[in-house]
Amino acid sequence: MTTLACIDLFCGAGGLTHGLTSEGISVVAGIDVDPACRHPFESNNGARFIKEDVSQSKPAKLQTLFGHADIRILAGCAPCQPFSTYTQRYDTGRNPRWALLYDFARLAKGVRPDIVTMENVPTIKKHEVYGDFVAALRKLGYKVWYDVVDCSSYGLPQRRRRMVLLASRLGPIELIESTHARPMTVREAIGQLPAIAAGGSLTRDPLHAASKLSNLNLERIRASRPGGTWREWPKRLIAECHQHDTGRTYPSVYGRMVWDKPAPTLTTQFYGFGNGRFGHPEQDRAISLREGAILQGFPKAYSFVPDDGLIQFNVLGRMIGNAVPVTLGKVIGHSILQHLAIQSLMTGTKWKRDVACSPLVA
């Protein structure tokens, strides 16, 4: 039987890994420089976490991690902040993190995995480094597919557009078609969670915790309606910076989510009411860390800190907001297995798992 193994570069809290393993792809290791990611990655996925800067990773080490697997998959999402719409400079020399995609290509060249997958923000295609990454894979003999996808069309309860790349040395590969005609809503995702107050948390789930609100921001959220903006507030509540002409171009802060629509794109500061449309649809608070994790596709019981661990909003917000949505990880995993099933039919290869008729479960 043919065996599969995957290594997840820039693995973070394990969103991509969890999606892949949920589909039946064995992830043998995740590599990330952030030590806070060790607990969520290892405790939820049964895979080894390696604290290491990917720029220092060596192909020989990855070869050892892959072991004797017949099909090797190299996956990852290089830190996306340098490529986001908030960053308008495209000179890779100014930010060393942009060069991490070159390290991804370096490892692909050294390891020659059978399949490569990468996820990032849509604006990455504006950067020279992305074109170089694609060109390097094609030069190595990979068939490359990439496109921008809206994760809500695959069942994620969030409007989140991402660039997804799939590359294979075995033959043409692409992402499966949309699986959901109707997006999942905020109500369907988090509507059953217990109510908590701003600054409060749930005893049996410490991650269901909401950040505190100042008296002024409490007044502001009480004056906000789902889907509305701060422009509808009484003038006394409007921030001084928004009263200037330049401030009027930022209507998507201090807003509430809408129950019967997907959530807006989550950032690493989704837990703050003033950082976007991250207000709860009806409770007077920003969404909790657990609610943010669920909107990113993580299971409700996904553990981000040990039982006695400290709940730090900035650390956990960064891990959750930066994660590859688990739902997208499942879609990528299913796409890979479907590709392998097609190749097995063409070559007569027997796989460890029968993937020819494996349905995608959202």
Closest to 186 measured CA to CA, from 280, 321, 323: 280
Instruction: Indicate if 247 and 338 belong to the same structural domain.
Output: no
Q: Where would I find the H helices in 46-176?
A: 59-66, 100-111, 128-139
Instruction: Indicate if 10 and 138 belong to the same structural domain.
Output: yes
The C-alpha atoms of residue 245 and residue 281 are separated, in whole angstroms, by 28
Q: What is the mean pLDDT of the chain?
A: 89
Residue 356 above 50 pLDDT? no
β partners of residue 6: 27, 73
Count Cβ atoms within 10 A of the Cβ of residue 306 and give its class: 0-12 exposed, 13-18 middle, 19 or more buried. Answer: exposed
Instruction: Indicate if 305 and 338 belong to the same structural domain.
Output: no
Instruction: Indicate if 175 and 217 belong to the same structural domain.
Output: no
pLDDT at res. 4 = 94
Instruction: Indicate if 261 and 295 belong to the same structural domain.
Output: yes
Quote the domain boundaries for residue 214.
188-322
Residue type, 105: A
Query: Is 151 assigned a catalytic role?
Result: no
Any domain includes 40: yes
Lowest mean pLDDT among 75-89, 140-154, 167-181, 339-353: 75-89
Average pLDDT on 295-304 reads 98
The C-alpha atoms of residue 165 and residue 104 are separated, in whole angstroms, by 13
pLDDT at res. 349 = 63
pLDDT at res. 247 = 47
Convert the pLDDT of each residue in 173-196 to its tens digit: 999 999 999 999 999 999 999 999
Any domain includes 341: yes
pLDDT at res. 149 = 97
pLDDT at res. 91 = 44
Any domain includes 361: no
Extract the tokens encoding 14.
């394990």
Q: What is the largest CA-CA distance in the chain?
A: 72
Instruction: Indicate if 29 and 166 belong to the same structural domain.
Output: yes
Residue 242 above 70 pLDDT? no
Residue 146 above 80 pLDDT? yes
Instruction: Indicate if 210 and 308 belong to the same structural domain.
Output: yes
Q: For residues 92 and 48, which has the higher predicted lDDT (pLDDT)? A: 48
pLDDT at res. 189 = 98
Residue 72 above 70 pLDDT? yes
Catalytic residue selected from 80, 151, 241, 357? 80
Instruction: Indicate if 134 and 236 belong to the same structural domain.
Output: no
pLDDT at res. 236 = 82
Residue 362 above 90 pLDDT? no
Convert the pLDDT of each residue in 249-294 to its tens digit: 556 678 999 999 999 999 999 999 988 899 999 999 999 999 999 9
Average pLDDT on 145-149 reads 97
Instruction: Indicate if 241 and 331 belong to the same structural domain.
Output: no
Convert the pLDDT of each residue in 311-351 to its tens digit: 999 999 999 999 999 999 999 999 999 999 988 776 666 55
Any domain includes 170: yes
Any domain includes 352: no
- Strand 48-51 relative to strand 71-76, pairing: unpaired
Q: Phi/psi at 183 (nearest 5 deg)?
A: -65, 150
CATH number at residue 220: 3.90.120.10
Any domain includes 353: no
Instruction: Indicate if 164 and 143 belong to the same structural domain.
Output: yes
Any domain includes 362: no
Q: Please say whether the beta carbons of 72 and 113 come within 8 A.
A: yes
Which residue has tokens 């701060």? 230
The C-alpha atoms of residue 229 and residue 88 are separated, in whole angstroms, by 26
Instruction: Indicate if 237 and 331 belong to the same structural domain.
Output: no
Structurally, how many domains does the chain consist of? 2
Any domain includes 355: no
Q: Please say whether the beta carbons of 15 and 324 come within 8 A.
A: yes
Q: Phi/psi at 168 (nearest 5 deg)?
A: -140, 140
* DSSP 8-state symbol, 102: H
CATH number at residue 167: 3.40.50.150
Instruction: Indicate if 164 and 23 belong to the same structural domain.
Output: yes
The C-alpha atoms of residue 117 and residue 75 are separated, in whole angstroms, by 5
The C-alpha atoms of residue 15 and residue 302 are separated, in whole angstroms, by 10
Q: Please say whether the beta carbons of 311 and 329 come within 8 A.
A: no
pLDDT at res. 111 = 97
